[in-house]
Amino acid sequence: MKILLIEDENELAESIISYLTGNGFVCEWASNSKLAIDKISIYEYDCILLDLMLPDGNGFDILKELKRQNKTEGVIIISAKETLETRIEGFNLGADDYLTKPFHLSELLVRIQALIRRINFKGNNLVAYNEIEIDILSKTVKVKGKKIDLTKKEIDLLLYLIGNENKVLSKSAIAEHLSGDMADMLDNHDFVYAHIKNLKNKLKDAGCSDYIKTVYGLGYKWQND
């Protein structure tokens, strides 16, 4: 999977690249819009991460250029701007998702995965991990071929954990992922523990291996050992 990151902030770009590289992605980086347009014209990407404020232009121009070249890459806008107007303009110009800075890298990763799944959708939308099988469309989860009963939130959490395999996920990152738009309101992340515990128990009851590891004081990690 190839990703193009268009971002002028070196430090942020470095972190994003290092996080994504570990999870089966090849990440290329363009720090300005000229470089970005050059790369877009030559290569094909599975997903483009686009910052809107670039030193030599507006990220929207890159969206227009993609449209002009009839490119079908998925685009996730990552921007500090968060007005409804910029969101709407972004979506109108063909962006697929919009992530406001600051964000957790784990969140970015699952957004990319979800976008790529949507683009490559071929009749079924399955995520499989060893004995676990998740059907994203019908919202059902099977362990060893047997359906288990999970709530919508638990399925969401499961996808998030699997998507960030081998990564330590802080409680606040999980809390923010689970609460979506309401994340800004949260000042207590205790509810994460309850969700993790329930998911863990349900998987265990279905005979699934214990993949969810507790990282002391910090959060959780999905790991196959």
Q: Report whether the peptide linkage leading into residue 102 is cis, meaning its omega lies within 30 degrees of zero.
A: yes
**Segment near other proteins (CB under 8 A); pick from 18-26, 35-43, 69-77, 115-123:** 18-26
Residue 83 in the binding site for other proteins (CB under 8 A): yes
Is 64 within 8 Å of 36 (Cβ atoms)?
Answer: no
Radius of gyration over every alpha carbon of the chain, rounded to an integer in angstroms: 18
Is 73 within 8 Å of 45 (Cβ atoms)?
Answer: yes
Q: Which of residues 25-64 bind other proteins (CB under 8 A)?
A: none
Residue 88 in the binding site for other proteins (CB under 8 A): no
Distance CA(46)–CA(50), nearest Å, equals 13
| Closer by beta carbon to other proteins, 19 or else 25 | 19
Residue 190 in the binding site for other proteins (CB under 8 A): yes
DSSP state of 180: G
Query: Binding other proteins by CB under 8 A: which of 32, 172, 198, 223?
Result: 172
> What phi-psi label fits residue 137: left (phi over 0), alpha (psi between -120 and 50 degrees) or beta?
alpha
Residue 101 in the binding site for other proteins (CB under 8 A): yes
Residue 210 in the binding site for other proteins (CB under 8 A): no
Residues that bind other proteins in the complex, under the rule CB under 8 A = 9, 11-12, 15-16, 18-19, 22, 80, 82-84, 101-106, 167-168, 170-173, 176, 179, 182, 184-188, 190-191, 194, 215-219
